[in-house]
């Protein structure tokens, strides 16, 4: 049976997972429309793909009587913070479906994933999706895709790409816009026509490289990857070769292939297929599993460097231990070590002792890790994210991003003003229909804490997305924070009477009847300076009657602090406290006198 290995790559929300689900339904691999690739709870809540996952389909159908081809499909995340999930997959496949929204055209992450694909010599198939949108402009989008290929230095062969037009949510594909179609057969035919069968040389010694890891309570660690050559059977003795030079021997206990979303146990696997291997507890992403100790290593899976860092600490607030199950330093370390096994974009320095420094690709990358830990019962606190500063050729350098912003014309002024304050350099600006598209080169430092502000400034009508450019000379000081922190000076339960007076000073993060402690940040202040307040103050009762005393107190709904929002709005001298049921911001030094003493000592 011929095998084709492909990955679906695109910018976030351009329809990758929807198309993968439609392909599985088209080929009969799943029947229930509620079953799909995004099975993780966080993915379903946010509507984005966070983890790369693979499936396989058979086309034509096994029951058709024709020669059947197995198509292994890897669905990848579209958000820039999870770019490492894409990078590690691309080496294991033979072609990519480059999905582009027919209205938005190529976006920053489209450029990122396409560059990686072209560097590996892959020849993409371009899929223009969502052609049914009222504002769709497929001819314009295709022209922009051509320009992008040219800008990235595509070869003549790569420029001769096939184009398919799709409506993924309805399961429709067309080779030309004028064609009539009711299914995805044109896309499946294009895959068989344009993607070469996977090399299947079974005469060479076995070689396998995992691009993903999974865990089973009974089988232990599982490696998911591609068999590059040879055959492997259950019970075979193999060697795990690491790029550090270490070689570990092991035995294959079970082998699985993929059929739809399920895995099927098999006695033997052969070259060209994407499979799952059990029995190798020391297997990591990028290792080479070989039949002979003398075999050469497969090329390493190269991942771009992290751009931000922050400290993970044991929660030591007055409410510590109330809600979490795993609260100790040892438990947090064990969880982070486990995360390193599968999250290749993450780096962790365990050396300081009283805290662990975590390096990631962006705020969302770190926020997803924290949200997962929180749901598992962990309780901890983290410091404000900060960019990674390097010295390159004697020059202090910091990470920069190229940001593409699409906003309605009336909001462009405030966006341009704030990007200039954050040291953004405008690269391009053009008006497209009712919107303005602006492209900036900006320090990652300048973007930290801006995304939620951007949503407010554009009334939710703007799109902001970026790609990592590299390290450039330090841009100097950036003044980002124009609000101060409203701090609780007492410990107790917040009361409506006190909050009704405090809401006039700024935006509150808490509502009435919420437990607070001294040093907790309960809101912000418009004046830009920290202010200590008493949120537990009750109404003074007297025998004197007043015509206004019984007027009902009206409170503005508070701004709820999520992990992502907390990482953006917290100040340098604050911690974000994360528990299974609460997210709070607090000062690192809780008492007001302690903060004053620390301020005098530092000055």
DSSP code per residue over 271-328? TT-EEEEES-TT--TT-EEESSTTSPPPPP---PPP-EEEEEE---STTTTSS-SB-S
Helix ranges restricted to H, 525-602: 563-569, 592-602
Give the strand pairing for 531-533 and 484-488: parallel
Q: Tally the C-alpha atoms within 13 A of residue 391's C-alpha that lie toward its C-beta.
A: 1
List the structure tokens of 402. Answer: 């190229």
Q: Are 588 and 580 in contact (CB under 8 A)?
A: no
Q: Choose between 41 and 162: higher pLDDT.
A: 162
List the structure tokens of 376. Answer: 């598992």
User: Residue 341 to residues 210, 246, 258, 311: CA-CA distances in angstroms?
Assistant: 12, 17, 22, 20
Can you tell me the mean pLDDT for 36-47?
Answer: 72
Q: Are 16 and 9 in contact (CB under 8 A)?
A: yes
List the structure tokens of 590. Answer: 């809780």
Task: Say which CATH class 2-194 falls into.
Answer: alpha beta
Q: How buried is 474 (Cβ within 10 angstroms: 0-12 exposed, 13-18 middle, 19+ buried)?
A: middle
Q: Choose between 416 and 461: higher pLDDT.
A: 416
What's the DSSP call for residue 241?
A: E
Can you tell me the mean pLDDT for 352-379?
Answer: 91
The fold of 484-602 is OB fold (Dihydrolipoamide Acetyltransferase, E2P) (2.40.50)
List the structure tokens of 408. Answer: 């309605």
CA-based angle 275:279:283, to the nearest 5? 75
The structure's pTM equals 0.84
Q: How far apart are CA 148 and CA 141, in angstroms?
A: 10
What pLDDT score was predicted for residue 547? 57
List the structure tokens of 412. Answer: 């462009």
| 3-state class (DSSP) for residue 566 | helix
Q: Are 329 and 316 in contact (CB under 8 A)?
A: no
Of the candidate ranges 277-281, 329-333, 361-365, the one whose mean pLDDT is the lowest: 361-365
Counting every residue written for the chain, the total comes to 603
Query: Minimal CA–CA distance to 579: which of 320, 347, 330, 383?
Result: 320
List the structure tokens of 2. Answer: 């011929």
Residue 43 has pLDDT above 80, yes or no: no
Query: Minimal CA–CA distance to 342: which of 74, 8, 88, 6?
Result: 88
Judge whether 308-387 and 390-473 match in fold.
Answer: yes
Residue 353 has pLDDT above 80, yes or no: no
Can you tell me the mean pLDDT for 499-524?
Answer: 93
Residue 166 main-chain phi, psi, to 5 deg: -135, 155
User: Residue 361 to residues 32, 237, 368: CA-CA distances in angstroms?
Assistant: 35, 37, 12
Report, in angstroms and rounded to the nearest whole number, the Rg of the chain calculated over CA atoms.
Answer: 27
Query: Minimal CA–CA distance to 335: which of 578, 576, 572, 561?
Result: 578
CA-based angle 13:15:16, to the nearest 5? 105
Give the strand pairing for 125-129 and 163-167: parallel
pLDDT, tens digit, 9 for 90 and up, residues 292-320: 999 999 888 777 788 899 999 999 999 99
- DSSP E strands: which ranges in 363-462? 380-383, 386-387, 390-392, 395-408, 425-432, 435-443
User: Residue 152 to residues 145, 146, 466: CA-CA distances in angstroms?
Assistant: 11, 10, 17
Q: Are 502 and 516 in contact (CB under 8 A)?
A: no
User: Residue 506 to residues 290, 486, 487, 528, 588: CA-CA distances in angstroms?
Assistant: 63, 8, 12, 10, 22
The model's confidence at residue 478, banded by pLDDT at 50, 70 and 90, is confident
Q: Are 416 and 458 in contact (CB under 8 A)?
A: no
User: Residue 169 to residues 29, 52, 139, 184: CA-CA distances in angstroms?
Assistant: 17, 20, 21, 11
Q: How far apart are CA 222 and CA 212, in angstroms?
A: 9
What's the DSSP call for residue 152?
A: T
Domain 390-473: assigned CATH number: 3.30.70.240
What's the DSSP call for residue 539?
A: P
Average pLDDT across the chain, whole number: 88
* Percent of the chain with pLDDT strictly greater than 70: 96
| 3-state class (DSSP) for residue 535 | coil
Can you tell me the mean pLDDT for 31-47?
Answer: 70
pLDDT, tens digit, 9 for 90 and up, residues 543-596: 666 555 556 788 889 999 999 999 988 999 999 999 999 999 999 999 999 999
pLDDT, tens digit, 9 for 90 and up, residues 165-195: 999 989 999 999 998 988 999 999 999 999 9
| 3-state class (DSSP) for residue 236 | coil
What pLDDT score was predicted for residue 544? 61
Q: How far apart are CA 244 and CA 225, in angstroms?
A: 20
Q: Which helix (H) or strand (E) segment is 216 a member of?
A: strand 207-216
Q: Tally the C-alpha atoms within 13 A of residue 301's C-alpha that lie toward its C-beta.
A: 25
The model's confidence at residue 452, banded by pLDDT at 50, 70 and 90, is confident
Q: Are 439 and 404 in contact (CB under 8 A)?
A: yes
Task: Say which CATH class 308-387 falls into.
Answer: alpha beta
Can you tell me the mean pLDDT for 153-159?
Answer: 91
Query: Structural domain boundaries of the chain?
Result: 2-194, 207-290, 308-387, 390-473, 484-602
Q: How buried is 490 (Cβ within 10 angstroms: 0-12 exposed, 13-18 middle, 19+ buried)?
A: middle
DSSP symbols for 463-491: EEEEEEEEEEE----------EEEEE-S-
The fold of 207-290 is Elongation Factor Tu (Ef-tu); domain 3 (2.40.30)
Query: Minimal CA–CA distance to 100: which of 193, 170, 163?
Result: 163
Contacts of 472 (CB under 8 A, 6+ apart): 397, 398, 400, 443
Residue 531 has pLDDT above 70, yes or no: yes
Residues β-bridged to residue 401? 442, 468
């Amino acid at each position: 049976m011929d095998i084709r290995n492909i990955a679906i790559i695109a910018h976030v929300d351009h329809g990758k997972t929807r198309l993968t689900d439609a392909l599985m339904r088209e080929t009969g691999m799943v029947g229930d429309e509620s079953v799909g690739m995004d099975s993780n709870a966080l993915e379903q809540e946010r509507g984005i793909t966070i983890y790369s996952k693979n499936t396989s389909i058979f086309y034509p159908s096994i029951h058709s009587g024709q020669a059947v081809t197995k198509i292994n499909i890897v669905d990848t995340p579209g958000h820039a913070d999870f770019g490492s999930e894409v990078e590690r997959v691309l080496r294991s496949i033979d072609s990519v479906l480059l999905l582009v929204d027919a209205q938005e055209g190529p976006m920053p992450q489209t450029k990122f994933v396409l560059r990686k694909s072209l560097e590996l010599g892959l020849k993409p198939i371009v899929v223009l999706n969502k052609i049914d949108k009222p504002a769709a402009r497929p001819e314009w989008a295709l022209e922009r895709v051509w320009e992008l290929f040219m800008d990235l230095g595509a070869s003549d062969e790569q420029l001769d790409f096939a184009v398919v037009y799709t409506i993924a949510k309805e399961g429709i594909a067309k080779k030309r816009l004028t064609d009539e179609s009711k299914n995805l057969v044109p896309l499946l035919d294009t895959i068989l026509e344009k993607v070469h069968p996977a090399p299947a040389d079974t005469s060479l010694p076995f070689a396998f490289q995992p691009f993903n890891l999974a865990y089973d309570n009974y089988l232990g660690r599982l490696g998911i990857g591609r068999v590059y050559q040879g055959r492997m059977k259950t019970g075979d003795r193999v060697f795990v070769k690491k790029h550090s030079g270490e070689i570990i021997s092991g035995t294959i206990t079970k082998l699985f292939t993929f059929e739809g979303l399920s895995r099927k146990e098999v006695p033997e696997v052969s070259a060209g297929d994407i499979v799952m291997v059990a029995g190798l507890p020391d297997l990591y992403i990028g290792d080479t599993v070989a039949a002979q100790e003398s075999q050469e290593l497969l090329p390493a899976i190269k991942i771009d460097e992290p751009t931000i860092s922050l400290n993970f600490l044991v929660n030591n607030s007055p409410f510590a231990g109330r809600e979490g199950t795993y609260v100790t330093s040892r438990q947090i370390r064990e969880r982070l070590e486990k995360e390193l096994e599968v999250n290749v974009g993450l780096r962790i320095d365990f050396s300081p002792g009283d805290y662990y420094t975590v390096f990631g690709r962006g705020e969302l990358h770190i926020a997803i890790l924290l949200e997962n830990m929180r749901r598992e019962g962990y309780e901890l606190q983290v410091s404000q994210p900060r960019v990674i500063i390097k010295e390159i050729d004697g020059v202090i350098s910091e990470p920069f991003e190229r940001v593409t912003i699409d906003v309605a014309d009336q909001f462009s002024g405030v966006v341009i003003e704030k990007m200039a304050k954050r040291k953004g350099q405008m690269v391009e600006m053009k008006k497209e229909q009712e919107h303005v598209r602006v492209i900036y080169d900006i320090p990652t430092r300048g973007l930290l804490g801006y995304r939620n502000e951007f949503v407010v400034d554009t009334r939710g009508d703007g799109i902001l997305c970026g790609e990592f450019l590299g390290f450039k000379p330090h841009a100097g000081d950036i003044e980002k924070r124009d609000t101060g922190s409203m701090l609780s000076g007492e410990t107790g339960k917040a009361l409506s009477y006190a909050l009704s007076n405090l809401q006039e000073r700024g935006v509150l993060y808490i509502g009435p009847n919420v437990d607070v402690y001294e040093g907790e940040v309960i809101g912000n202040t418009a004046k830009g300076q920290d202010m200590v307040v008493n949120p537990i103050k009750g109404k003074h009762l007297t025998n004197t009657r007043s015509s206004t005393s019984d007027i009902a107190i009206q409170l503005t709904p508070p701004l709820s602090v999520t992990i992502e929002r907390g990482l953006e709005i917290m100040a340098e001298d604050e911690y974000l406290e994360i528990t299974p049921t609460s997210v709070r911001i607090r000062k690192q030094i809780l008492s007001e006198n302690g903060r004053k003493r620390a301020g005098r000592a530092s000055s």
